[in-house]
């Protein structure tokens, strides 16, 4: 396999840190640039010291540095930006990172906009029920108005289902993990983080 030098902006974030780990596992060199505005050092702490990994705490708005880093890499994954607050579809980060990493090996993907995600729609109510069930939680579901949840005047799409057709055709993309796996892994991660904090 060709070893590449990947540059990930926002690499200390949720998706970027998992992508960095995957690429290192595949034997690539990885440089992460992150200003830690929403990301956390803890996301990449376990990668520090691994051969080929470099972390730079700075902003992509530092043009000179960013340009230098782009010039030095073979592949750029630009993930430094804010995330939308309402999620209706859930995809496992491992499925997403696998597809993102593969995409740059497939020339027919170049220049294309490719949606990644999951087209298994779930309501927030069902998500809450499933989370309570799978974590054996004593929590109760409380329904509040849209305005109370998001503030007056906030508008968002009621449904958001990505078309995965292009991802399927170009990448053979098929999410392997479902909502139950996601809830299980998120709950496990939170329990581990809590155990470390105590």
Ligand X SMILES: NC(=O)c1ccc[n+]([C@@H]2O[C@H](COP(=O)([O-])OP(=O)(O)OC[C@H]3O[C@@H](n4cnc5c(N)ncnc54)[C@H](O)[C@@H]3O)[C@@H](O)[C@H]2O)c1
Q: Report how far residue 11's alpha carbon sits from residue 31's, in angstroms, rounded to the nearest whole number.
A: 8
Q: Report how far residue 132's alpha carbon sits from residue 122's, in angstroms, rounded to the nearest whole number.
A: 15
CB of 63 or CB of 140, closer to ligand X: 63
CB of 21 or CB of 34, closer to ligand X: 34
Count Cβ atoms within 10 A of the Cβ of residue 16 and give its class: 0-12 exposed, 13-18 middle, 19 or more buried.
buried
Closest approach of ligand X to the CB of residue 162, in Å? 9
CB of 36 or CB of 104, closer to ligand X: 36
Q: Report how far residue 46's alpha carbon sits from residue 83's, in angstroms, rounded to the nearest whole number.
A: 24
CB of 113 or CB of 198, closer to ligand X: 113
Interface residues with ligand X (CB under 6 A)? Answer: 9-10, 12-16, 33-39, 59-61, 79-81, 83, 87
Closest approach of ligand X to the CB of residue 99, in Å? 13
CB of 12 or CB of 29, closer to ligand X: 12
**Angle at alpha carbon of residue 164, lines to 161 and 169, rounded to 5°:** 170
Closest approach of ligand X to the CB of residue 62, in Å? 8
The partner residues of 92 in beta bridges, in order of sequence, read none
Closest approach of ligand X to the CB of residue 66, in Å? 8
116 DSSP assignment: -
Q: Report how far residue 128's alpha carbon sits from residue 125's, in angstroms, rounded to the nearest whole number.
A: 5
List, in sequence order, the alpha helices (H) in 12-90: 14-25, 41-44, 63-72
Q: Let me know: does 56 contact 65? Beta carbons within 8 Å.
A: yes
Closest approach of ligand X to the CB of residue 159, in Å? 15
């Amino acid at each position: 396999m060709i070893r590449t030098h990947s540059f990930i902006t926002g690499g200390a974030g949720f998706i970027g840190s998992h992508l960095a780990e995957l690429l290192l596992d595949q034997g690539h060199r990885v440089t992460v640039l992150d200003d830690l505005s929403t990301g956390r050092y803890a996301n990449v702490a376990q990668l520090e010291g691994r051969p080929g990994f470099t972390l730079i705490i700075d902003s992509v708005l530092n043009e000179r540095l960013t340009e230098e880093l782009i010039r030095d890499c073979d592949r750029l994954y630009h993930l430094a930006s804010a995330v939308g607050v309402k999620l209706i579809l859930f995809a496992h980060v491992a499925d997403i990172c696998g597809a993102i990493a593969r995409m740059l090996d497939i020339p027919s993907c170049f220049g294309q906009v490719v949606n990644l995600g999951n087209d298994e729609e779930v309501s927030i109510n069902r998500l809450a029920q499933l989370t309570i069930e799978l974590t054996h939680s004593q929590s109760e579901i409380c329904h509040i108005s849209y305005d109370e949840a998001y503030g007056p005047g906030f508008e968002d799409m009621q449904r958001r289902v990505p078309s995965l057709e292009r991802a399927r055709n170009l990448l053979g993309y098929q999410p392997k993990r479902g909502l139950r796996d996601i809830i299980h892994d998120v709950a496990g991660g939170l329990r581990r983080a809590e155990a470390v904090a105590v």
